[in-house]
């Protein structure tokens, strides 16, 4: 018999191979893709096959099962084509992508072109829209407001000695680590100084324990948070624990930190929000914080030690509460939104 009739493919012209692939409009969980291809046999294309994979992380555990197959079969629509929702694309993650053109046959099988070249791209951070969804989830569990009077920061004695010797007594902003939500636009980018403001329920004062060192810088709340500062919502997460963290950013109006946050984070009304408020009563500034979340406050400018006091705490150093580079629990229903993990 005639070979070509048996295979049914041999006599058909080959399908055009996509080339010059372009990725655009990248968000944390979608992107647009387009490419060029020869016009020859173009009218026979009924589908595109898109192969999307997380870029191999050299450090990833070799024994973990491979990502599920990531081949998307899409109807041949006009390009550029938007890809979203077919995978849980993770934010801020590197991917590789390649495409084939395909022609569906009468029997349901596909004839396919060669694969295109493989290209790489990286998904984006959460947008303000995504962060607003996270903010709304955080508001639900924030709890009632308790009074506070100081912000505090725990460190080791060496840290404070170093600040006095090498930085003229001023604590310097440093780049935020990668703890919290994977899509957070402040991780690895925003520079600031971490403060706490939670109080003990029974005393109204800062707790005597801390995971971050035996020495504590304490400063009156109004020195850092007042009508000349803006307040932003930065993140909401937990680390496989019962309690949740909310990251807030305090930035002096017009400062570099303020400009960074304006572009990327939802702004909060300093007098009226569910997490941290500053209001005037009888000529005195009064401060409140949410009871049911642990607030991590990032202040974006240097802070001089002369604005407050440094003293040793009497409590324990609870390392288990440290959030340095902590990974967010992706399965928690309370603090995850439905976009990319």
How high is the pLDDT of residue 319? 56
Range 65-72, long-range pairs (CB < 8 A, 24+ positions):
none
- The number of angstroms, rounded, from the C-alpha of 264 to the middle of its chain's C-alpha atoms is 11
Q: What is the pLDDT of residues 23-40, one digit of tens each?
A: 999 988 889 999 998 888
- The number of angstroms, rounded, from the C-alpha of 8 to the middle of its chain's C-alpha atoms is 51
Strand (E) or helix (H) holding 221: helix 221-224
Q: Taking the alpha carbons of 302, 305, 307, 312 in that order, is the dihedral positive or negative?
A: positive
- Closest alpha carbon to 340 in 181, 162, 167: 181
SS3 of 278-330: the string is: EEEECCEEEEEEECCCEEEEEECCCEEHHHCEEEECCCCCCHHHCCCCCECCC
How high is the pLDDT of residue 59? 52
Q: What is the pLDDT of residues 117-169, one digit of tens each?
A: 999 999 888 889 889 999 999 999 999 999 999 999 999 999 999 999 999 99
SS3 135: helix
How high is the pLDDT of residue 285? 92
How high is the pLDDT of residue 321? 56
How high is the pLDDT of residue 64? 42
**Whole-model pTM?**
0.81
Kindly state the tokens that stand for 34: 């387009």
Q: Give phi and psi for 233, each to the nearest 5.
A: -90, 125
Q: For the chain, which residues make up each domain, given as ranges?
A: 19-123, 128-312
Distance CA 237, CA 334 (A): 9
Pairing of strands 245-252, 294-299: parallel
CATH number of the structural domain 19-123: 2.60.40.10
Q: What is the mean pLDDT of each run of 10 residues along the chain (341 residues)?
A: 47 82 90 90 88 72 46 86 76 90 90 92 89 94 92 92 94 90 89 90 76 87 96 92 92 96 96 95 92 94 95 71 70 78 43
| DSSP string across 238-285 | -SSSSS-EEEEEEEETTSHHHHHHHHHS-EE-SSS-SSEEEEEETTEE
The answer to whether the beta carbons of residues 173 and 252 sit under 8 Å apart is no
How high is the pLDDT of residue 276? 97
């Amino acid at each position: 018999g005639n070979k070509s009739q048996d295979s049914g493919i041999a006599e058909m012209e080959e399908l055009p191979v996509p080339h010059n692939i372009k990725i655009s409009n990248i968000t944390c969980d979608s992107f647009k893709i387009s490419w060029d291809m020869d016009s020859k046999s173009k009218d026979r294309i009924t589908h595109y096959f898109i192969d999307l994979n997380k870029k191999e992380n050299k450090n990833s555990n070799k024994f973990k099962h491979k990502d599920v197959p990531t081949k998307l079969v899409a109807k041949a629509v006009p390009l550029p084509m938007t890809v979203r929702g077919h995978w849980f694309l993770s934010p801020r993650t590197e991917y590789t992508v390649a495409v084939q053109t395909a022609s569906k046959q009468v029997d349901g099988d596909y004839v396919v072109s060669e694969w295109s070249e493989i290209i790489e791209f990286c998904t984006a951070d959460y947008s303000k829209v995504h962060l607003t969804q996270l903010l709304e989830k955080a508001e639900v569990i924030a709890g009632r407001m308790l009074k506070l009077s100081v912000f505090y920061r725990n460190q080791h004695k060496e840290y404070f000695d170093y600040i006095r010797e090498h930085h003229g007594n001023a604590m310097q902003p440093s780049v935020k680590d990668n703890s919290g939500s994977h899509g957070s636009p402040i991780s690895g980018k925003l520079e600031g100084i971490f403060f706490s403001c939670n109080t003990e329920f029974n005393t109204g004062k800062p707790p005597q324990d801390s995971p971050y060192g035996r020495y504590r810088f304490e400063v009156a709340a109004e020195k850092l948070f007042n009508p000349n500062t803006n307040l932003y919502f930065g993140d909401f997460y937990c680390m496989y624990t019962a309690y949740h963290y909310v990251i807030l950013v305090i930035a002096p109006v017009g400062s570099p930190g303020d400009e960074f946050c304006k572009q990327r984070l939802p702004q909060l009304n300093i007098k009226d929000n569910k997490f941290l408020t500053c209001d005037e009563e009888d000529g005195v500034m009064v401060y409140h914080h949410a009871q049911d979340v642990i607030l991590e406050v990032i202040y974006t400018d240097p802070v001089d030690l002369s604005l407050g006091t440094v003293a040793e705490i009497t409590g324990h150093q609870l390392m288990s509460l440290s959030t340095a580079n902590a990974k967010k629990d992706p399965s928690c229903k309370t603090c995850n939104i439905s976009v990319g993990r």
